[in-house]
């Protein structure tokens, strides 16, 4: 890829550096106030919640109170619909079938989840999230879309050990915009346990914020990792992981990795 390409430049930016923050502030003066308020809020929440899951649950409570759609990263309803459709279309075209059993990690307010629920056979969808506030919004999405007869499961969790779920049960595990907000120990915990719940031939797709430069984080909310870091982490748990290159050609800022318990499957 040409080093002058905007996508290539995006992968080398260190958003935590003072230089980047100053340049961004000069180009986007209207965002200085919101950023400072977000920073002050995060300092307050980190002081009250030392554990990352408890901290991010508080972040979601704060964000959901203002707007459930913004809390899951959508600037407006049209973008909420578009990002949900993007996730659904990609997964349907890359292996998801109506008869599959799917675990949606960080299901949020069902931005993509309502489409999965509608597509899958009754009882085929299981959504989990750390935020009780966003799960209440998810139930409102479910009833608003008239999908009660699909009998989806929506469950609160505080970790990613999946200890309450059966072994070999899920054909598809999905985590969109979860690892982009997770420190490495949380990702490692998920990868250490996801193989147990995958059915034979199943796969786990997750998105993350990719960098080809120094790995870094911003305000303990946004984490940027090299793809090699995450594929090697998966390999350490006996999993095969590969970057889904065609996802990066879609209008979405994150990257995607597919994890399998054996030989990689699905279209690249």
Task: Supply the DSSP string of 12-78, one letter for each residue.
Answer: T--TTSHHHHHHHHHH-GGGHHHHHHHHHHHHHHHHH--SHHHHHHHHHHHHHHH-HHHHTT-SSHH
Judged by average pLDDT, the poorest of 46-50, 60-64, 78-82, 234-238 is: 46-50
Q: Quick one: pLDDT at residue 218?
A: 77
32 pLDDT band, cuts 50/70/90, is: low
The tens digit of pLDDT for each residue in 116-129 reads: 999 999 999 999 99
> pLDDT at residue 264 above 50?
no
Q: Quick one: pLDDT at residue 109?
A: 94
The tens digit of pLDDT for each residue in 209-220 reads: 999 888 888 767
Section 179-200 average pLDDT:
96
Domains in the chain, CATH or no CATH each: 6-260 (3.40.50.150)
pTM value surpassing 0.85: no
Mean pLDDT of the chain: 86
- How many C-beta atoms lie closer than 10 Å to residue 22's C-beta? 10
Percent of the chain predicted with pLDDT > 90: 61
Q: Quick one: pLDDT at residue 206?
A: 98
């Amino acid at each position: 890829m040409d080093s002058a390409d905007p996508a290539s430049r995006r992968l080398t930016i260190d958003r935590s550096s003072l230089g980047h923050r100053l340049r961004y502030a000069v180009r986007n003066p209207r965002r200085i106030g919101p950023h400072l308020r977000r920073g002050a809020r995060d300092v307050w929440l980190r002081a009250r919640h030392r554990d990352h899951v408890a901290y991010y649950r508080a972040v979601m409570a704060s964000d959901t109170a203002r707007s459930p759609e913004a809390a899951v990263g959508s600037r407006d309803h049209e973008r909420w619909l578009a990002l949900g459709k993007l996730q659904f279309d990609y997964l349907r075209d890359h292996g998801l079938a109506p008869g599959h059993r799917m675990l949606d990690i960080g299901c949020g307010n069902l931005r993509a989840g309502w489409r999965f629920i509608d597509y899958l056979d009754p009882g085929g969808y299981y959504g989990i999230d750390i935020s009780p506030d966003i799960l209440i919004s998810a139930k409102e999405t479910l009833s608003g879309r008239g999908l009660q007869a699909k009998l989806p499961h929506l469950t609160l969790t505080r970790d990613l050990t999946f200890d309450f779920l059966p072994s070999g049960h899920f054909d598809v595990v999905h985590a969109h915009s979860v690892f982009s907000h997770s420190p490495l120990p949380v990702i490692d915990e998920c990868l250490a346990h996801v193989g147990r719940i995958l059915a034979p031939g199943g796969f786990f797709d997750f998105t993350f914020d990719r960098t080809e430069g120094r790995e870094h984080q911003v305000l303990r909310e946004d984490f940027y990792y090299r793809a090699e870091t995450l594929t090697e982490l998966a390999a350490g748990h006996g999993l095969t992981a590969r970057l889904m290159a065609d996802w990066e050609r879609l209008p979405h800022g994150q990257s995607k990795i597919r994890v399998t318990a054996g030989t990689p499957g699905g279209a690249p």
